[in-house]
């Protein structure tokens, strides 16, 4: 699919973090593609942030969960499938299509994901920056007050009571 988009003129490089149950098979099948960069499991925030700087969007083609919040924190607009009840948590519901991320039709297979990517690659840069900023604003809302502040309130309440 990414190869097809490149053939259509899209300057797209796919950065794949982690491997999942199909990782080795996919690496063997697509190892000759110069536009696919493979990473093993990456957990460090700095390493993930460095990779994300090379990306326009973050895509979770399966059932997403907390990975969506991680993408929000990185100001990396998320792409997830549109069957929200099938995700692993509520996090994909924070996405507003075209404003804080993007949906693709789960039942549409690779063609649906390709159509979403075409739409994104056709967007003006200022619209992509606005989506990244809106997504990060949602992240900030989700973390306000901070976890440290919440824990301090719990400790203070326990000491008082």
Residue 39 phi, psi (nearest 5):
-125, 145
Q: Which domains does the chain carry?
A: 2-160 (3.40.50.2000)
Residue 111 has pLDDT above 80, yes or no: yes
Using pLDDT thresholds of 50, 70 and 90, give the confidence band for residue 118: very high
Please report which residue ranges of the chain form alpha helices under DSSP H.
Answer: 2-7, 23-30, 45-52, 66-73, 109-121, 125-142, 147-160
Q: Are 139 and 69 in contact (CB under 8 A)?
A: yes
pLDDT digits (tens, 9 = 90+) for 33-83: 999 999 988 888 899 999 999 999 999 988 999 999 999 999 999 999 999
pTM over 0.85: no
Using pLDDT thresholds of 50, 70 and 90, give the confidence band for residue 161: confident
Closest CA to 114 of 19, 29, 7: 7
Find the radius of gyration of the CA atoms of the chain. 18
């Amino acid at each position: 699919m990414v190869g097809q988009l490149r053939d259509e003129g899209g300057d797209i490089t796919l950065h794949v973090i982690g491997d999942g149950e199909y990782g080795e098979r996919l690496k063997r099948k697509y190892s000759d593609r110069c536009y696919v960069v493979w990473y093993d499991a990456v957990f460090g925030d700095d390493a993930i942030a460095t990779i994300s700087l090379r990306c326009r969007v973050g895509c979770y083609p399966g059932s997403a969960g907390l990975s969506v919040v991680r993408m929000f924190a990185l100001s990396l607009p998320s792409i997830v499938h549109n069957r929200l009840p099938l995700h692993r948590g509520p996090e994909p519901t924070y996405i507003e299509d075209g404003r804080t991320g993007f949906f693709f039709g789960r039942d549409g297979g690779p063609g649906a994901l390709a159509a979403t990517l075409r739409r994104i690659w056709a967007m003006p840069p200022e619209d992509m920056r606005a989506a990244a900023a809106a997504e990060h604003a949602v992240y900030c809302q989700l973390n306000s007050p901070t976890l440290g502040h919440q824990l301090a309130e719990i400790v203070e309440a326990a000491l008082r009571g």
